[in-house]
Amino acid sequence: MKSVIAEDLVKTYRNGAVRALDHLSLDVEEGTVLSVLGPNGAGKTTCVRILATLLKPDSGRAMVGGIDVIKHPDKVREVIGLSGQYAAVDEILTGWDNLVMFGQLYHLGKKASIARAEELLERFSLTESAKRPIKTYSGGMRRRLDLAASLIVKPKVLFLDEPTTGLDPRGRQEMWSVIEELVKGGVTLLLTTQYLEEADQLADEIAVIDHGKVIARGTSDALKKQVGGERLEIVVESQNIAKTMEVVATISGNKATLDEGLRMISAPVSTGATALIETLRSLDSAGIHPLDVGLKRPSLDDVFLSLTGHAAEEKKEEEVATTGRRKKAKK
Amino acid sequence: MSAFKDTMIITQRQLRLLTRVPEVLIFSTIQPVMFVLLFRYVFGGSISTGQPGGYVQLLMPGIFVQTVAFTLAGTASGLAEDMKKGLIDRFRSLPISQSALVMGRTLGDSLLNIVVLAVMGIAGYVVGWRPTSGALNVAIGFIFLLLFGYALSWVGIFVGLSAKDARVVQNVSFIVTFPLTFLSNAFAPTTGMPRALQYFAEWNPVSTMVAGCRELFGLENQFGATAGSFPSENPLLTSFLYMLVIMAIFIPVSVRKYKRSAD
């Protein structure tokens, strides 16, 4: 069964001048994770806001948990959790205050709200800072608290809009393990991200969107195959370039390319670390010592480059329309 | 019933914010108290009123009304701040009454007004304000003031939802509220104003509120302009009608705007 269905969603801002969603369709199988991957301004946030009942599409249809989002937004709100791009918790209040308040707003009653709040604080390792105002929290802690707030009534469908944007690597790791935990618990998750790595780590399926449309869809492996997997990159002294290119081409089975300025030789490889080791052995026996060497995973840019032929550039205008204050578009 | 409960929870949040950031309460009280002292001692000496008890008797209702009028700015900037932080999105994605957030905020801001008015009343008493109409009338006067603040706080919801930034909201609200409170009978007689302004001042809701409060606190309204004009003859009735009109327009309009604020 599909827990989330979006069909032909269109949303424009400023009297149609900015088209945030352009006949976007996607769906998420119950109990799975779909990652919506795209650059800033691709329409990720607009899509989530429509599915989470915050925004009405100009046209199209959307169902969440089997309920029509446009006809019965109030019923949809009972089965979803939303954690946005900005940690939407009250900075002045403490973590405990926030969770208890949201629990009460879910009509849990005071006692049950407190119990649930403490349970969630414990689960997200926030118990120690529970009685401190949110403004003293680190970025990662805020996001975790925000996520906790969206889990108060165990939603069937969870929307996470760029849950790790702006976090440092440690915060990102912590967030990922929290999300992985959740997914094991069986929630259906729709997650948006700008990072291929994140989609790779968390999602069963990835939908790449650009200019408000899904331009590619599939498992992470399938997408990577399309992009060409990892690239081997080696920097050597000028006199060793020719020989190194030869070695790289032989081992990778692909044409090696040279960045003359950086003296960097690179080629797509399918065997990852094995190719790297083989190359280093060959170079070593040829008496060549690389200055730098590495495997580069395909980034969002690579995905975009290979899918659309252009880099994942940002569309500033739309970003304003979808993330900051939303201007009401006259229909 | 659940809409009422939701509203109460939001109101509680509002009050809890006050206990966590006492500065808000302190500054929203210091400013009006400062006005009381400045006007009382700077202008009080040069404005002759012929009123027993002097200028401060006329001044206090003026400052009360001015203070509750600033509720508009407070509500508007508070709401704009919540919008900016994305908090409104969270509330709107919850299965709660969609108007609870704005209902709760207007109610919370009115409760803050009770505290502020109490502190001002005490400050006024210290500098010589003595209402002569009896406890009941004074109480009615304060209820009148709170109601006025409540009505304006709904205008504040509208302003807060319309503007882009909390600081802009603050500025816009002051630009509206300041002239309104001064183009009135609050601090000086309107009879000294140019003719056109006199008309404006007489019909200004701030004037009718001030005149109404003066009546309830046991004063003759000596700052009213043209004798015989409807608002200066019936300040309480006029004020009441103003409040009804403001609420009849801005409660539904603001709730509607809030529900659609994302589109």
pLDDT tens sequence across B37-58: 988 888 877 776 666 668 888 8
Query: A159 and A186 share a domain?
Result: yes
Domain assignment of residue A264, yes or no = yes
Lowest mean pLDDT among A7-16, A215-224, B105-114, B115-124: A215-224
Query: A243 and A108 share a domain?
Result: no
> Which of helix, strand or coil describes residue A176?
helix
Domain assignment of residue A56, yes or no = yes
Domain assignment of residue A312, yes or no = no
Domain assignment of residue A86, yes or no = yes
Query: A216 and A234 share a domain?
Result: no
Task: List the single residue in A88, A105, A326 with the smallest CB-CB distance to B85.
Answer: A88
Query: A173 and A264 share a domain?
Result: no
CB contact under 8 A, B86 and A326: no
Query: A207 and A255 share a domain?
Result: no
| Pick among A70, A92, A105, A161 to test the B interface (most B CBs inside 10 A) | A105
Name the DSSP class of A242: H
Q: How far is A276 from chain B (nearest CA, A)?
A: 46
Model confidence over B163-202: pLDDT tens digits?
878 888 888 888 888 889 999 988 888 888 888 888 888 8
Lowest mean pLDDT among A136-150, A245-259, B200-214: A245-259
Measured between alpha carbons, how far is residue A118 from residues A126, A150, B17, B35 in Å? Answer: 9, 14, 21, 46
Query: A68 and A161 share a domain?
Result: yes
Measured between alpha carbons, how far is residue B260 from residues A55, A269, B162, B164 in Å? Answer: 8, 51, 11, 15
Q: What residues of chain B lie within 8 A of the CB of A78, using their CB?
A: 95
- Residue B247 sits at the chain A interface (C-beta within 8 Å): no
Q: What domain range includes position A255?
A: 230-296
**CATH code for position A200:** 3.40.50.300
pLDDT score, position A331:
34
Give me the number of domains chain A comprises. Answer: 2
Alpha helices in chain A (DSSP H): 44-51, 73-77, 95-105, 110-123, 139-149, 169-184, 196-202, 220-227, 241-252, 273-285, 300-308, 316-323
**CATH code for position A262:** 3.30.70.100
Q: What integer is the mean pLDDT of B5-30?
A: 88
Rounded to two decimals, the pTM is: 0.79
Domain assignment of residue A325, yes or no = no
Q: What residues of chain B lie within 8 A of the CB of A77, using their CB?
A: 93-95
Closest to B207 in 3D by CA, of B241, B238, B175, B174:
B238
Determine contact, residues A274/A266, Cβ cutoff 8 Å.
no
Of chain A, the percentage scoring pLDDT greater than 70 comes to: 89
Kindly indicate the confidence band of residue A316, based on its pLDDT and cuts at 50, 70 and 90. Answer: very low
Measured between alpha carbons, how far is residue A183 from residues A41, A179, A187, A202 in Å? Answer: 27, 6, 5, 9
The rounded distance, in Å, linking the Cα atoms of A218 and A208 is 9
Question: What is the spatial order of strands in the sheet that A33-37 belongs to?
Answer: A80-83, A157-161, A188-193, A33-37, A205-210, A213-218
CB contact under 8 A, B260 and A328: yes
The vertex-B77 CA angle with B118 and A13, nearest 5°, equals: 155
CB contact under 8 A, A88 and B89: yes
In the predicted structure, residue B111 carries a pLDDT above the cut 70? yes
Decide which of A171, A197, A225 is a domain's last residue: A225
| Close Cβ partners of A185 (under 8 Å, ≥ 6 residues apart) | none
Kindly indicate the confidence band of residue B221, based on its pLDDT and cuts at 50, 70 and 90. Answer: low
Query: A136 and A261 share a domain?
Result: no
